[in-house]
């Protein structure tokens, strides 16, 4: 027996999501999967230089990251994204690429700080001019170092990006 949706009291909460009180929600798979992903982004700890201190401050009690569901994991196999915080040098680049390759799909990269975005003030022989030369970066967070609030804004932008994704949940994408 099919339910006649015109007679029952469905409430449209937002575009594309309907709720039948008290406990039935009708929506698309995209929305559910995206919502669950953005509410629990788990980055792998990749603090390199000064920006790592601001990242730690953002995760500590004053500017809490845990309320967004962001918990720092030690292993790349158990995480969703990598926040590249600090200067990437040519000696460190293969290590970073290897850590990024180990993160299972779907994965994201946040380049935090001027040095990760574009090399910063170091235009020298051992500094990579921006980690986007060898990584696909999703969000650039500028600053030297960016305040913890700026990093939170960067994570919220990443959440917005995840919200708009389409069909990134299937094996055959």
Partner 1 sequence: MIIEVRMKFPYMKMDPLEIAEKIKEKFPLEVVDVISFRDQVSIIVKKDKIIDICRYLHDDPELDFDHLRDLCGVDYLGKKEPRFEVVYHLYSVRHRHMIRINAQVPEDDPKIDSVISVWAGVNWHERECFDMFGIKFKGHPDLRRILLPEDWEGYPLRKDYPLKGPEKEWSGFAEVLEKAKKCREFDWEG
Partner 2 sequence: MEKVEKILETRELNVNMGPQHPATHGVLRLVLDIDGETIVNVTPYVGYLHRGIEKLGESLTYFQGLPLTDRLDYVSAMSNNIGYVVAVERLFGIDPPERAKFIRTIVGELSRISNHLLWLATHALDIGAMTVFLYCFREREWILDLFEMICGARLTVTYPRVGGVRNDVSQEFLDSLYKFTEEFPTRIPEYETLIDKNRIWLKRTKGIGVISAEEAINWGLTGPTLRGSGVQYDIRKHTPYDAYDKVEFEVPIGTNCDTYDRYRCRMLEFRQSIKIIRQCMEKLPQGPVMADTPKFTLPPKDFILKDMEHLIHQFILITKGPTVPEGEIYVATEVPKGELGFYFVSDGTGKPYRMRIRAPSFIHASVLPRLCVGHLVADVIANIGTIDIVLGECDR
> What are the residues binding partner 1 (CB under 8 A)?
90-91, 93-94, 97, 123-126, 128, 133-136, 173
Out of partner 2, partner 1, none, what residue 167 binds, judged by CB under 5 to 8 A for its kind, is none
Nearest approach, Cβ of residue 114 and partner 1 (Å): 17
- Based on CB atoms, which residue is closest to partner 2, 92 or 157? 92
Specify which residues 81 forms β-bridges with: 43, 108
* Shortest separation between residue 161's beta carbon and partner 1, angstroms: 19
Closest separation in Å from C-beta 101 to partner 1 = 9
Residues 118-157 close enough to bind partner 2 by CB under 8 A: 121-127, 144-145, 147
Angle between helices 50-59 and 148-163 in degrees, nearest 10: 70
Is residue 80 near partner 2 by the rule CB under 8 A? no
């Amino acid at each position: 027996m099919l339910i006649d949706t015109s007679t029952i009291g469905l409430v449209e909460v937002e575009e594309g999501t309907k709720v039948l009180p008290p406990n039935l929600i009708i929506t698309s798979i995209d929305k559910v999967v995206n919502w669950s992903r953005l509410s629990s982004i788990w980055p792998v700890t990749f603090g390199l230089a000064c920006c790592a201190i601001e990242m730690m401050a953002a995760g500590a009690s004053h500017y809490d990251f845990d309320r967004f569901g962001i918990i720092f994991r030690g292993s790349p196999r158990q995480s969703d994204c990598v926040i590249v915080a600090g200067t990437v040098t040519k000696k460190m680049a293969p290590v970073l690429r290897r850590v990024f390759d180990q993160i299972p799909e779907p994965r994201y990269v946040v380049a935090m700080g001027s040095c990760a975005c574009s090399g910063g003030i170091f235009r020298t022989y051992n500094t990579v001019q921006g980690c986007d030369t060898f990584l696909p970066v999703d969000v650039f967070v500028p600053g030297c170092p960016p305040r913890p609030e700026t990093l939170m804004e960067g994570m919220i932008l990443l959440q917005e990006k995840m919200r708009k994704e389409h069909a990134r949940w299937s094996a055959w994408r």
